[in-house]
Amino acid sequence: MQDFEDNPPLDFDPEQCRNESEVESKLIVQYLLPALGYRPNDWHQEVAVGSIRLDFLAFAAQVIPFVLDANSPLSVAMEAKSPKQNLDLHVRKLGRYLSSLNIRYGLLTNGKEIRIYARNQEKIQLVFQCKGREIQQELNTIRSLIGREYLKNQAEEATIAQTNLEASRKHEMKVIAVYHNKGGVGKTTTVTNLAAAVRKKGKRVLIIDLDSQANTTFAAGLANFDDEVLDEIESCYVYHLLTSEELYPISEVARKAHFCDPAIDVIPAHIGLMDEERKLNKLSFTKVTLLEKLKAVQNDYDIVIIDTPPSMNLYSTIALIACDYLLIPSDLKPFANQGLRNVRTFIEEQNSYRRYVSKPAIKVLGVLPSKISPMPKFVQFTLPKRKAVISNRYDFDVLESVIFEREDLAKCAEHSHTIGDREIPDPKSIFDFNPNSAAAQEFDALAMEVLQKIGEV
- pLDDT, one tens digit per residue, over 286-304 is 999 999 999 999 999 999 9
Please say if the pLDDT value at position 1 is more than 70: no
Query: Would you state the pLDDT for residue 171?
Result: 59
| Phi, psi torsion values for 39, nearest 5 degrees | -85, 165
Position 381, amino acid:
F
Q: Is 178 exposed, middle or buried (0-12, 13-18, 19+ CB in 10 A)?
A: buried
Helix (H, G, I), strand (E, B) or coil at 200: coil
**426 alpha-carbon distance from chain centroid:** 37
Task: For residue 128, give the H/E element and its range.
Answer: strand 123-131
Please say if the pLDDT value at position 240 is more than 80: yes
Q: pLDDT above 70 covers what percent of the chain? A: 91
Report residue 120's pLDDT band, with 50, 70 and 90 as the boundaries. Answer: confident
Report residue 146's pLDDT band, with 50, 70 and 90 as the boundaries. Answer: very high
Query: Would you state the pLDDT for residue 57?
Result: 92
Q: What average pLDDT does range 358-367 have in this prediction?
A: 95
Topology given in CATH for the domain delimited by 171-453: Rossmann fold (3.40.50)
Other C-beta atoms lying within 10 Å of the C-beta of residue 168: 9
| Domain positions in the chain | 14-166, 171-453
Please say if the pLDDT value at position 255 is more than 70: yes
Q: Give the dihedral sign, CA 457/454/367/262.
A: positive
Query: Would you state the pLDDT for residue 447?
Result: 97
Query: Would you state the pLDDT for residue 456?
Result: 87
CA-to-CA dists, residue 17 to 22, 42, 83, 85, 390, angstroms:
5, 24, 7, 12, 77
- pLDDT, one tens digit per residue, over 401-450 is 999 999 999 999 888 777 777 777 789 999 999 999 999 999 999 999 99
Contacts (Cβ under 8 Å, ≥6 apart) of 428? 259, 260, 412, 415
Largest CA distance in the chain: 107
| Phi, psi torsion values for 342, nearest 5 degrees | -65, -40
Helix axes of 334-356 and 383-394: crossing angle, nearest 10 degrees: 40
Class of domain 14-166: alpha beta
